[in-house]
Amino acid sequence: MPNRSTDALFQLIKSLEKSEKRNFKLFLKRHSGSEELKIVQLFDALDKMKEYDEVQLLQKNKSLKKQQLSNTKALLYRQLLASLRLIRDEANIDIQLHEQMDYARILFNKGLYLQCLKVLDRMKEMARVNQQLTYLQQVLFFEKKIEALYITRSMRDRAQRLAEESEKVHEQLTLVNTLSSLSLLLYSWYIQHGHARDEKDVKSLSVFFDAQMPPNAAQATGFYERMYLYQSYAWYAFIRQDFLSYYRYTQKWVSLFDEFPSLLRIETAQYIKGMHNLMGAHFDLMNHEKLAECIKTFELFTRQKVVEQNENNRILAYQYLYTARINLYFLQGTFTKGLRMVPFLEKMLQEYGPYLDSHRVLVFYYKIASLYFGSGNNEKAIDYLNRIINQKGDLRTDLQCYSRLLHMIAHYELGNFDLLEYLIKSVYRYMARMGNLSKVEEEMFTFLRRSFRVGAHALKPEFERLLVKLKKYEGNPLETRAFVYLDVISWLESKISGVHVQDVIREKFLKGRKRSR
């Protein structure tokens, strides 16, 4: 994992653009107190540091006392946020709506009710056009408050209309809330457990999904209701490894932005996440042409201002773009070519480490390890797999399991048989404890245990027998994850033919492309 400090103030300063730093200095010029001078010194000192080191900070800045440092840091943090708040972002609908609400409250407090209502009317229209239901609810609540205190006579039946509007918005928000919660819970299930492991998992997941899905979900018409509905179905299909349904709902998720183009700049991160899942669906379905098309589309999108001028969007876009490119190398069997990306990935993980979640970093490590394994560099594959295996936490037990399995196979490839006997027992116990043993994995463990007693001359027939056994499970949905995480079929074929895994996959790719023409 990247080793950069997680000090909140230091992270905030390092995230600032040059223009934002300049704006902060101008903001502070309005103040001349001693406290402001101290926070300027602290700001400059932290800005120059590459890594946060409190001892070094105090040694080089004698005016900063240890007893005062905590309070000074807190003040600097607040002032930085205040200066950033003053930089008006015309594209940020939240800031615009907040500003309009501030104006409305000022006018209300002065007793200028009609002027206040005019501001609220503009805000209501802005919120409605941009599907901002929570702000719309706030406006309606404020309007009802004014109507109860002061009869405006601005329109007939105003009270009735406000009540009807409020009820409609309430129903929409309830549906959005229920669907967004369902989507989040399903995604959380996947992050903790990975794909469904057996019929018991599938059944419990189905019962949960049916119980949580609101009966009026089919009536969803707004952007947010439909987005969370499509997300829920996408996660549900993905966990069950129904990759065709997963593709259909991720495509609906992305296409929703064509129907509501104004929401693209508001919910950019959701579009990026949708594209990531759509590209992932093409990978799971082994559709290399569609994946390549999506990557080109996504690359063009990452060059737009809405991505380049927003740190959060830029980080999300880069990590998902790299993931998709690696997946395309996997499908095309060009593992060695994919290894050229590793220095860029390492740089990204180092630079953006504090902003990436642990789950995403582990996925990158596994994909890099797979690139090395596929190209025949088992030592480097083991190095990256160790980073996952040594990671503490309970995220993605399936990823931990397959990292151990690939780690064991890499040692087998290197001929580390003294270590391998211990690894087989250790990995078997780990996966059994996690309830993670599939039929494919059972067959592989049986083969590896038996291979110790078989001479090198007799291994090829053993590989051939195992290949025949495993091919029977290729169409089984509950065995799919074994072939997604580790292309064991191609590995066995590589052992039988005496070539690298990537050469086997490459030959399959080229044959498949010829047939499609």
CA distance 491 to 448: 14
Nearest to 195 by CA among 517, 481, 417: 481
**Range with top average pLDDT, 369-383, 404-418, 442-456, 478-492:** 369-383
Q: For the segment 181-199, what is each residue's pLDDT rounded down to a tens digit?
A: 999 999 888 877 778 877 8
Estimate to the nearest angstrom the gap between the alpha carbon of 86 and the chain centroid: 30
Looking at residue 27, its pLDDT comes to 80
Task: Give me the sign of the Cα torsion angle 48, 53, 58, 60.
Answer: negative
| pLDDT over 90, % of the chain | 36
Looking at residue 396, its pLDDT comes to 61
Looking at residue 465, its pLDDT comes to 83
pLDDT tier, 257 (very low <50, low <70, confident <90, very high otherwise):
very high
Three-class DSSP category at 99: helix
CA distances (Å), 381 to each of 226, 323, 325, 457, in order? 42, 17, 19, 27
pLDDT tier, 482 (very low <50, low <70, confident <90, very high otherwise):
low
Least confident of 103-107, 125-129, 289-293, 484-488: 484-488
pLDDT tier, 421 (very low <50, low <70, confident <90, very high otherwise):
confident
CA distance 53 to 19: 26
pLDDT tier, 436 (very low <50, low <70, confident <90, very high otherwise):
low
Averaged pLDDT score across all residues of the chain: 85
Estimate to the nearest angstrom the gap between the alpha carbon of 28 and the chain centroid: 37
Domains of the chain in start order, with CATH, are 8-86 (no CATH), 93-154 (no CATH), 355-517 (1.25.40)
* Better pLDDT: 195 or 280: 280
CA distance 225 to 219: 9
CA distance 308 to 343: 22
Mean local confidence (pLDDT), 366-385:
92
Annotate 368-387 with b (16+ C-beta within 10 A) or e (fewer). Answer: bbbbbbbbbbbebbbebbeb
Tokens of 425: 């027992």
pLDDT tier, 90 (very low <50, low <70, confident <90, very high otherwise):
low
Looking at residue 293, its pLDDT comes to 96
111 pLDDT more than 50: yes
Least confident of 69-73, 297-301, 462-466: 462-466
Looking at residue 453, its pLDDT comes to 62
**Range with top average pLDDT, 81-95, 155-169, 252-266, 385-399:** 252-266
* Better pLDDT: 339 or 483: 339
Residue 437 identity: L
459 pLDDT more than 70: no
CA distance 281 to 272: 14
Looking at residue 279, its pLDDT comes to 97
pLDDT tier, 2 (very low <50, low <70, confident <90, very high otherwise):
very low
Contact criterion met (CB below 8 Å) for 410 and 439: no
Ramachandran angles phi, psi of 154, nearest 5°: -75, -20
CA distances (Å), 280 to each of 250, 318, 345, in order? 9, 15, 18
Mean local confidence (pLDDT), 81-92:
73
Q: For the segment 128-157, what is each residue's pLDDT rounded down to a tens digit?
A: 989 999 999 999 999 988 888 776 555 567
Looking at residue 477, its pLDDT comes to 73
Mean local confidence (pLDDT), 80-107:
83
Looking at residue 3, its pLDDT comes to 39
Mean local confidence (pLDDT), 268-291:
94
CA atoms within 13 A on the CB side of 352: 21
Mean local confidence (pLDDT), 302-313:
88
The predicted model scores a pTM of: 0.79
Estimate to the nearest angstrom the gap between the alpha carbon of 52 and the chain centroid: 27
Contact criterion met (CB below 8 Å) for 482 and 465: no
CA distance 142 to 343: 55
